[in-house]
Amino acid sequence: MKVIHVVGARPNFMKAAPVLAALKTRQNVGQTLIHTGQHYDANMSDIFFQQLGMPIPDVNLEVGSGTHATQTADIMTRLEPVVTRIKPDIVLVYGDVNSTVAAALVCAKLRVRVGHVEAGLRSFDRSMPEEINRLVTDQLADLLFTPSEDGDQNLQKEGVVLEKIHRVGNVMIDSLVQLLPLAKKCSTDGFPERYALVTLHRPSNVDDSASLKGILEALLEINRRIAVVFPVHPRTRQRIAELGVPLDNLHLSEPLPYVEFLALQSRATAVLTDSGGIQEETTYLGVPCLTLRNNTERPVTVTMGTNILVGQDRQKLISELTKILDGHAKRGQAPPLWDGRAGNRIADVVCG
């Protein structure tokens, strides 16, 4: 059996690593790892491969940045001849980035089977480019690997036949479980002892000047109560510079490798984020999470986990953080099958 994995952005690497490892133990499975180059910054790409124990990609399409249309088209144009040459039995795509939908489109036209890892997630907000990618990929995929029950339900409502749907759990948690022992040994010297950890990258928060200014002012206010540690995404750093809001009192850093970030995340008093994956990781870790979005494609982190949606409501953000600091943080638990074995379940289906 020939399997191609297509990855392009940092979250994809964490999802693909456990599947690559699981399939490596199966007989007569040949694997090809294709990196589209959608994320090409060394801090956000190369070092993740090293820490996750992933092999060096067999192919790098080197598409780089661009508009959604340009990036998607470039991936499709460069991927098609590779798939045609290798003739895989199945192509596995991960998450909801442009690389995911581009690969699914190429394979559907070539009549190559597609497996979508992390299928069925829905924010029901089509202003998010990721939502469009999720919807299209799930309609094209032959095997849909869901992380939780809501994913199954969403797919069935959209007309996906039950035989295609396989609830396997959360592969991101596989990577977290694997690397958490290393993170526990990782030093956080140079960072405050007690802190709120922040990540921001979504266009709705960082590309809108008024929204970003409001969030930054809230962070400065929060910093009076608890130190704010903020590894700054490159796009976010550029937008902050354009706004000219002085953030000298915050603990700013470059984006961190996964193990180092996991160390900070696991020890944080609270995490403030607009990232989908971090909502999941904090739920598994039992760390309070305040999500700076009005919706989430991962509602199980709210219904079962430690996540609270605060949107762009500055007062709600401050109020919910105050509860955490006063010892009244929301309690949660990890959803079923978030146990570090999702990659093996996917391998069972692919090889079955």
pLDDT in tens, 287-342: 999 999 999 999 999 999 999 999 999 999 999 999 999 999 999 999 999 999 99
pLDDT band at 11 (very low <50, low <70, confident <90, very high): confident
Q: How far apart are CA 83 and CA 59, in angstroms?
A: 11
Q: Is the pLDDT of residue 42 over 70?
A: no
Strands across the sheet with 307-309, in order? 251-253, 227-231, 195-198, 270-273, 289-291, 307-309
How far is the CA of 270 from the CAs of 14, 94, 313, 320, 335, in angstroms?
22, 28, 17, 10, 20
What is the pLDDT, as a whole number, of residue 320? 97
| Contact assessment for residue 38 and residue 97, using Cβ atoms and an 8 Å cutoff | yes
More confident residue, 296 or 257: 296
To which CATH superfamily is domain 2-170+338-351 assigned?
Glycogen Phosphorylase B; (3.40.50.2000)
- Which is catalytic among the residues 35, 116, 166, 201? 201
- Please state which architecture CATH assigns to domain 186-325: 3-Layer(aba) Sandwich (3.40)
Q: How far apart are CA 317 and CA 276, in angstroms?
A: 18
What is the pLDDT, as a whole number, of residue 64? 87
Q: How far apart are CA 88 and CA 111, in angstroms?
A: 11
More confident residue, 146 or 239: 146
| Contact assessment for residue 155 and residue 234, using Cβ atoms and an 8 Å cutoff | no
What is the pLDDT, as a whole number, of residue 170? 98
Is the fold of 2-170+338-351 the same as that of 186-325? yes
Q: Is the pLDDT of residue 6 over 90?
A: yes
What is the pLDDT, as a whole number, of residue 50? 84
Q: What is the mean pLDDT of residues 31-57?
A: 81
What is the pLDDT, as a whole number, of residue 45? 61
How far is the CA of 186 from the CAs of 116, 183, 189, 271, 285, in angstroms?
33, 5, 9, 19, 16
Residue appearing with tokens 């790892």 = 33
pLDDT band at 151 (very low <50, low <70, confident <90, very high): very high
pLDDT band at 220 (very low <50, low <70, confident <90, very high): very high
Q: Domain boundaries in the chain?
A: 2-170+338-351, 186-325
Q: Is the pLDDT of residue 180 over 60?
A: yes
Q: Is 198 helix (H, G, I), strand (E, B) or coil?
A: strand
| Whether 201 is catalytic | yes
